[in-house]
Structure 1
Amino acid sequence: MTRRTATLVASIVVLVISLGLVTAFPVPFVSFSPGPVKDTLSASKGKAVIEITGHETFPTSGRLDLTTVSVTSPERELTLPQAMRNWLDPDHDLFPRDIIYPPDQTADEVEQQNTAEMTGSQDSAIAAALQAAKVPFHPKVSTVAKESPADGKLKPGDVVLAVDGVQVSQIPQVGELVRKHKVGENVVFLIRRGTSEQTVQLTTAATPGEQDRPMVGITIGIDSPVKVTVNLGQDIGGPSAGTAFALAIYDKLTPGALLDGKHVAGTGTIDAVGQVGAIGGIQQKIAGAREDGATVFLVPGPNCEAALHSGVKDIQLVKITTLNEAIGALKAISTGTGAVPTCTP
């Protein structure tokens, strides 16, 4: 073997070894891919996904799918070839690992946070749906911020009957009545704690970052004889199923099948007053819905631009910003009359 041949062979061997080492080492990314869908109007392990007691319910028809994203698990790391395959697949995406799994959080802490967000989204969905269905309830204190005006004076579970003598029956009323005051003024709550009623006076403080906006440091939920239980039967976390939950609850609480037999999917966070918020992984969720046969997809307004880049042509992208807007759009689709807001370029 000549020196030139030996050098060439050695170079090839080094190159092969180097390539092998490079492809074996993990890269700091995680993949997003279409995850499973779940029909919120169906049953899971013999139980309805949405169970309602304490109020009359009505038949539904069609499918109303919540959509998910499959994310690389915390204990798994992508190699360079795996990352490249995900990058080349139009239904997949890559994100820096530190954004999805912050280095200062353990895998258990991330899972606990996702579970808490899912529970919170269900509570907000119930509140929003009851209001949309015009089911009476009382606002209730859900949380009390530490070192806030309400700390030590109000407790989670306190039912708010009135603010400054004005009876309240909807969640937004509490904040609206508090904001009629200036920072530093007194506001009077009439509450029911257990079986007794009592008056609590609070002095408003400035909202952090908004010095002219008064607050007392509470969040509001609902106190109602209507009980809603969500039985998913599978491991789904995060807040993005809130809108689907709210629509399913509303559909069951109101006469007439909202979907009229159609297959609808969607996503979006929701707050207690029915505002729909943006989510991540919209393109993967649309792809998952398309694969499952949905013909309509509900898109949070801020996600419309990304949704239009999903490449899906055979699914109607409906733009929603509130629960009431979503309800109106679905009624228009079912009846064939009325305007349907859509994502447009």
Structure 2
Amino acid sequence: MSRRAVTLTLASVLVLVFALAGSFMPVPYVALMPGPTSNTLGVNDKHEPLIKIDGRQVYPATGHLNFTTVTYRGGPGNRIDLFTALRGWIEDDVAIVPEETLFPKNESAKQVDEENTRQMRDSQQNAEAAALQELKIPIATQVVVDAVQKGKPADGKVRPGDEVLGVDGAKVTGVGQVTESMARRKPGAAVALAVRRDGKEEKIPLTTVASADGKRAVIGIVLGEQYKFPFKIDISVGDVGGPSAGLMFSLAIVDKLTPGSLTGGRFIAGTGTITPDGKVGPIGGIQQKMVAARRAGATVFMTPADNCADALAAKPDGLRLIRADTLHNARQALEDLQANKPVPACTKG
């Protein structure tokens, strides 16, 4: 064999070796795939009702109102290889996205998991509030301490989870009221918080300090609002995070609290965030969620209005898309579907 032929052969082998090695090199991308779906009208992995309501009459519910999920491969410390990424790009039910889409550079994987858990918790509370307001069932709110800043006056005196009842003797009904009260004070001013902790009321005297920019008086607490429901609603979904199941939770609660069936026995799935006043918001992974729903047997998919364009472009055969922009409209659409009336659909426009 000539020297030139040997050189070309060796070069080809080296190119092949490098190509094969490169295909198994980790890349900063994540593969999104269809995940499990769960019937909000059914039971969870522990064979307990996924949504349990105590203290209020409930009605039998038939059919399915499934929330959908997306699973992923990759992420910090467990990156996919180039071959997996290339294969994902050509598969219809897989989306390859930059790692930062799920794991921001300034957050660890643990922080992302904690945030997803918090979003699921908030989503459940929002879903409960939206459902009860849709049914005109009165609910109250309470102001609670979400966090206490280290080194500030409240540190060691106020605890996360404390319910704030009053400021300087004035009853508290919302976070804004506390904010306005603090805005009228100067650093060094005294403030007395009335809180409820473990069922007992306490008064906590504090002295304000200047904020980091020196423009405000602060005591170092972060406040949030929680709803006080007139009866108990438990939502148990296991190891699932994120806010996108809100709409389906709300629909299931409405179904359980009203006679008849919203589904008419159909297998309905869907997705969408929910606000306490019933507004439905967009989500990520709509393509994978529709595939998961259709594989599970769904024939109808509740689709957030802002996701309609992407959903239409990737809709699986046999899946009917219903546009949902509010809980009320989604509920009405399911009732109209049973009555063979027109329902709001996703359109290209």
Which bin holds the TM-score, normalised by the shorter protein? Answer: 0.7 to 0.9
2:163 pairs with one of 132, 150, 157:
157
- CA drift at 1:103: 2.4
2:223 aligned with 1:222: no
Question: Which residue in 1 is equivalent to 2:344?
Answer: 341
Partner in structure 1 of residue 284 of structure 2 = 280
2:124 aligned with 1:118: no
Whether the 8 Å contact between 1:34 and 1:285 is mirrored in structure 2 is yes
Q: Is the 8 A contact 1:139 1:159 kept in 2?
A: no
Q: What is the rounded CA distance, in whole Å, between the counterparts of 2:138 and 2:108 in structure 1?
A: 42
Rate the CA distance shift 1:16–1:313 in 2: closer, same or farther, 3 A. same
Whether contact under 8 Å (2:68, 2:269) holds in the other structure is yes
Runs of at least 4 residues off by over 6 Å = 144-147
Q: What's 2:316 paired with? A: 312
Query: How many Å apart are 1:218 and its aligned residue?
Result: 5.8
Matched residues in 1 for 2:51 and 2:313: separation? 33
Question: Shift in Å at residue 340 of structure 1?
Answer: 1.1
Q: Secondary structure at the match of 1:317?
A: strand
Describe the superposition over 1:236-258 as per-residue Cα deviations: whole angstroms up to 9, x where unpaired: 11111111111111111111111
* 1:208-254 residue CA offsets vs partner (Å, 9 max, x unmatched): xxxxxxxxx96433212311111224x21111111111111111111
Q: Which moved more, 1:272-281 or 1:100-109?
A: 100-109
The alignment yields a C-alpha RMSD, in angstroms, of 3.2
* Alpha-carbon distance, 1:288 to partner: 0.6
Amino acid aligned to 1:343: C
Residue 129 to residue 94, structure 1, CA distance change in 2 (3 Å): same
What's 2:213 paired with? none
> Which residue is 2:19 aligned to?
19
Match of 2:257, as an amino acid?
Answer: L
Task: Indicate conservation of the 8 Å contact 1:159/1:223, yes or no.
Answer: no
Distance 1:253 1:274 in 2: 17
Partner of 2:52: 51
- Do structure 1's residue 103 and structure 2's residue 109 form an aligned pair? no
Residues 25 and 128 of structure 1, relative CA distance in 2, 3 Å threshold: same
Unaligned runs of 5+ in 1: 169-173, 186-190, 197-216
Tell me, what secondary structure is at the counterpart of 1:330?
helix
Is the contact made by 1:221 and 1:272 (CA closer than 8 Å) also made in structure 2?
A: no
- Summarize the alignment of residues 205-220 of structure 1 with structure 2, pairs less than 5 Å apart: 219-220=224-225
State the secondary structure of the residue aligned to 1:22. helix
CA distance in 2, matches of 1:142, 1:88: 49
Equivalent in the alignment of 2:66: 65
AA matched with 1:37: T
CA distance in 2, matches of 1:98, 1:39: 31
Does the C-alpha gap of structure 1 residues 23 and 73 become closer, same or farther in structure 2, counting only changes over 3 Å?
Answer: closer
Q: Which residue does the alignment assign to 2:95?
A: 93
Question: 2:251 aligned with 1:247, yes or no?
Answer: yes
The aligned counterpart of 2:219 is none
Following superposition, the deviation at residue 114 of structure 1 comes to 0.7
> How far apart are the structure 1 equivalents of 2:320 and 2:135?
26
Q: Distance in 1 between matches of 2:165 and 2:296?
A: 43
Matched-pair identity in %: 37
Residue 137 of structure 1 aligns with which residue? Answer: 139
Contact 1:124 1:221 in 2 (8 A): no
| Alpha-carbon distance between aligned partners in 1 of 2:96 and 2:86, rounded to the nearest angstrom | 9
Does 2:12 match 1:9? no
Q: Which deviations, in whole Å up to 9, do the C-alpha atoms of 1:4-57 show, x marking residues without a partner?
A: 221121111211121122112112211111111011111122210000001111
**In the aligned structure 2, how far is the partner of 1:13 from the partner of 1:51?**
63
Q: What is the TM-score with the length of structure 1 in the denominator?
A: 0.79
Taking the aligned partners of 1:17 and 1:272, their CA distance within structure 2 comes to 57
Q: TM-score scaled by structure 2?
A: 0.78
Cα deviation 1:44-77 (Å, max 9, x = unaligned): 2221000000111111010010000011143421
- Quote the Cα distance in structure 2 between the aligned partners of 1:276 and 1:159: 31
**Count of aligned residue pairs for this structure pair:** 306
For residue 295 of structure 1, what is the aligned residue in structure 2?
299
For residue 64 of structure 2, what is the amino acid of its counterpart? R
- In structure 1, the residue corresponding to 2:330 is in which secondary structure? helix
My pick for the range that moved more, 4-13 or 294-303, is 4-13
Match of 1:239, SS state, is coil
* Cα distance between partner residues in 2 of 1:50 and 1:39: 10
User: 1:141: Cα distance to partner?
Assistant: 2.3
TM-aligned CA deviation for residue 84 of structure 1: 1.1
* In structure 1, C-alpha distance between the alignment counterparts of 2:73 and 2:242, rounded to whole Å: 15
